């Protein structure tokens, strides 16, 4: 079976002050469909740069990035944008919601770019918000939602196009401990339904909710192992 994601000798260089910095330096990694993987590392380790590349937000300097069997370097900018919209759902630390827009319309945004008619957009958006336990918050703006509710809206938005995988960049970084656990319960539940989840975090306790932990340092993978004694949220027993 073709892996969902495969990188071979992936490199991303930046030039800073006349010097070349290897943000990602020869990373080879395979992630299968249905995995829940935590990407860990301190600030500057390369984990966020790696996330940007596998999310087709940034182009590698060299190496190969295969996504669902397709070599991304053969794709045009428009094709990469289509992949981002249809195959990848993004969840961010600061939620990235439109401030003056309802939860319903925030979730519907990706469907605009997919050309879905408005009535169908709103139906699908409502469906995802109900799944996230926000059926009574459809018309609330972000200012009228708690941090945890805002992140659930962001997750609903990431899911509305039925992507192959969710990329979550520090999704609990702006949340308190209990709310963080609630969000991890959501991710574990989604993963058990077959959605691939790739989570970037610098928090070891959050990484323990994943099945597998990949540790970055100085742009390289220094450890890749299954999580021993994996934590389970109360929602999963």
pLDDT per residue as tens, the chain (237 positions): 789 999 999 999 999 888 999 999 999 999 999 999 999 999 899 999 999 999 999 999 999 999 999 999 999 999 999 999 889 999 988 899 999 999 999 999 999 988 999 999 999 999 999 999 999 999 999 999 999 999 999 999 999 999 999 999 999 988 999 999 999 999 999 999 999 999 999 999 999 999 999 999 999 999 999 999 999 875 544
Whole-number Å distance between alpha carbons of 28 and 40? 15
């Amino acid at each position: 079976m073709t892996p969902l994601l495969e990188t071979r000798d992936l490199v991303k260089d930046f030039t800073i002050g006349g010097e070349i910095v290897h943000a990602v330096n020869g990373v080879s990694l395979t992630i299968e469909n249905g995995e829940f993987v935590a990407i860990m590392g301190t600030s500057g380790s390369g984990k966020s740069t790696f996330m940007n590349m596998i999310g087709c937000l940034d182009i590698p300097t060299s190496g190969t990035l295969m996504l669902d069997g397709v070599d991304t370097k053969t794709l045009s900018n428009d094709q990469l944008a289509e992949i981002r919209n249809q195959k990848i759902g993004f969840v961010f630390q600061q939620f990235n919601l439109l401030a003056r827009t309802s939860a319903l319309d925030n979730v519907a945004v990706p469907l605009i770019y997919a050309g879905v008619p408005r009535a169908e957009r709103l139906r699908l958006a409502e469906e995802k918000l109900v799944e996230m336990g926000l059926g009574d918050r459809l018309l609330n703006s972000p200012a009228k939602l708690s941090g945890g509710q805002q992140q659930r809206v962001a997750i609903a938005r990431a899911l509305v196009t039925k992507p192959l995988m969710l990329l979550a960049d520090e999704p609990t970084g702006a949340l308190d401990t209990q709310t963080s656990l609630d969000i991890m319960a959501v991710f574990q539940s989604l993963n058990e339904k077959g959605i691939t989840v790739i989570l970037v975090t610098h928090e070891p306790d959050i990484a323990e909710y994943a099945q597998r932990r990949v540790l970055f340092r100085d742009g390289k993978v220094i450890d890749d192992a299954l999580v021993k004694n994996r934590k389970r949220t109360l929602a999963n027993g």
